[in-house]
Amino acid sequence: MESLIQISKINDFLFCPRSLYFHSVYESFSDVTYHASPQVRGRLNHVTVDTGTYASEKKYLQGEEVYLEKYGLVGKIDLYDKENKTLIERKSKISVVHPGYRLQLYAQYFALSEAGFPVERLVIRSLSDNRRYEIPIPEGEELRMFEEIMERMRVFNIADAPLEENLAKCRGCIYQTLCRPL
Ligand code: SF4
């Protein structure tokens, strides 16, 4: 069986494909290692004061594990509002909806749909400034891009992945010491 792609790694891959390899190397280390890294700037959200609010309400599914056979994806959704058929991803603070955020939400959307839950709206929420970003259901060019990234992640090989050209980006990268001593 081919290895599965973790939904949480999509954003890393978009940041720099080589992140995918080093993320796996670091996985056995403490999460604290990651907290300042650009790759995970949106990951803090799930452990916020907001988290407990929904857990007891029946209209929400929260933190549900999902599997998407078609693309070999595994991961967790953040929040699904059954009444409003809305899939929500909460971030601590975002000012720009990076492609990685959208693609992670698409992956959750496809997986949840495959599991039989109807999804009509996709939303990314920025908690600290209470902003909502409506994300269109992927189709056309967005869907094509999503499938292309999934395929690139599936066949990824560190030996074929070039170093990032932007040195400043590498300097801000948590994996720089291992990947590219400067
Ligand atoms: S150090 Fe540079 S090349 Fe290596 S993973 Fe980070 S951004 Fe990519």
The predicted-structure confidence for 145-177, as pLDDT tens digits, reads as follows: 999 999 999 999 999 999 999 999 999 999 999
According to the model, what pLDDT value does residue 44 have?
Answer: 44
Q: Which atom of ligand 1 is nearest to the CA of 179?
A: 4
With left for phi above 0 and alpha for psi between -120 and 50, is residue 32 left, alpha or beta? alpha
**Residue-wise over 65-81: b if at least 16 C-beta within 10 A, else e?**
ebebeebebebebbbbb
The overall pTM is greater than 0.85? no
Positive/negative CA dihedral, 99, 41, 61, 6: positive
Domains, the chain, in order of start with CATH, read 5-179 (3.90.320.10)
Nearest CA, atom 4, ligand 1:
179
Q: Which atom of ligand 1 is nearest to the CA of 169?
A: 7
Q: How confident is the model at residue 1 (pLDDT cuts 50, 70, 90)?
A: very low
Ligand 1 mean position, distance from CA 60 (Å): 38
